[in-house]
Amino acid sequence: MRPAAAAVLFVLGQAAPAQQITIGPQAVLASYREVVSGLRYAGFGFGGAMSVRFHKLSVDGVVTRVKLDTADGSAATQSVTATQFDAWVGYDVAPYASLEVGVIRRTADPELDAQSVGAVRLGARSFYEIGPGATILFRANYLAAPRFSGGGRAPFSLDLGLGLDVRLAGRLHGTAAYAFQRINRKTNPGGAGEIDAPIQETVGRVGLALAF
């Protein structure tokens, strides 16, 4: 662990004007629906986000852990703890736009109470500095080659995002991010024919970050 920490400190210490690293904790709000409207969860959790920018190249990573309780009127009987990892690698193709690829990996505990998902992200994002130290972001990702713990396929899956990064004072930044995910999952239980089992998740993250 020590060499990794030393490597992180080294990278942070070497940050040049052309590169910026932000890292910080986030509070997470999430709601999750699956298969039918009656199967819905909502919850609160924590996470962390890290972003590295080097000239036109950027790398973002987010880890969240949310305890999803059954919502009012939900048919679900048990809370689920969802752990999600998102990562993007972007390349600026214009002063206000970049193309990005990434991955998403969400696991649920207990495993069978909600779907665990893994997919590749392909998309683009637009960002704009609306003021000194304030950047707003909008992204749209296609989730390709999704895998589900309960099986099935998803020919159409999208992930939309809204992000905000505001420099509050010196190196301290305030961050907020919203993500909406729609996965058109189809399953074929017992070989009787495909049925729709869509998944829909919204996540809101608010936090602080230090920039180097």
Partner 1 sequence: MTSLRRLVVALLAGFVAPATALAQTVQNPTLRRAQQAYDNLEYRQVLTLAQAALRERLTGPERARAYELLGFTYGAMDSILKAVDAFKQLVLIDPERQLDPNRVSPKAYSAFDVALRQVLLVRQLRVDSTSFVGGQGAVPIRFTVTQPARVVTRAVGSEGRFLIDSSAWNGQVNLTWPARLANGDPVPAGSYTVVVDARLGQNAFAASQPVRVSHGRVDTLAHLTSLPGYEYLPETEVPPQSWRPLGLAFLYTGGAVVGTVGLESSSLGSGSKRELAVVGGAALVTGLVMTLRKPAPRPAAANILYNRLLRDQIARRNQEIAKENVARRQQVQLTVVPLPKPGAAGVR
**Nearest residue (CB) to partner 1, 116 versus 181:** 181
Query: Is 211 a residue that touches partner 1 (CB under 8 A)?
Result: no
Which residues, other chains included, contact 145 with Cβ-Cβ below 8 Å and sequence gap of 6+? 119, 120
Tokens read off for 10: 């080294």
Residue 165 · residue 134 · CB < 8 Å: yes
Which stretch in 3-11, 16-24, 109-117, 196-204 sits in contact with partner 1 by CB under 8 A?
Answer: 196-204
Per-residue binding letters, 38-77, with partner 1 (x by CB under 8 A) = --x-x-----------------------------------
Tokens read off for 56: 């036109």
Q: For 171, list phi and psi in degrees, rounded to 5.
A: -90, -5
Q: Burial level of 121, CB count in 10 A (0-12/13-18/19+)?
A: buried
- DSSP three-state, residue 93: strand
**Nearest residue (CB) to partner 1, 12 versus 36:** 36
- DSSP three-state, residue 9: helix
Q: Which of 65, 147, 153, 182 binds partner 1 (CB under 8 A)?
A: 182
Query: Is 104 a residue that touches partner 1 (CB under 8 A)?
Result: no
Query: Is 137 a residue that touches partner 1 (CB under 8 A)?
Result: yes
- DSSP three-state, residue 12: helix
Q: Which of 95, 132, 155, 170 binds partner 1 (CB under 8 A)?
A: 132
Query: Is 131 a residue that touches partner 1 (CB under 8 A)?
Result: yes
Strands 186-187 and 172-183: unpaired
Query: Is 136 a residue that touches partner 1 (CB under 8 A)?
Result: yes
Residue 150 · residue 188 · CB < 8 Å: no
Minimal distance in Å, beta carbon 59 to partner 1?
A: 22
**Nearest residue (CB) to partner 1, 47 versus 161:** 161
Residue 64 · residue 36 · CB < 8 Å: no
Name the residues that contact partner 1, by CB under 8 A. 29-31, 33-37, 40, 42, 126, 128, 130-132, 134, 136-138, 140, 158, 160-162, 164, 166, 176-178, 180, 182, 184, 196, 198, 200, 202-206
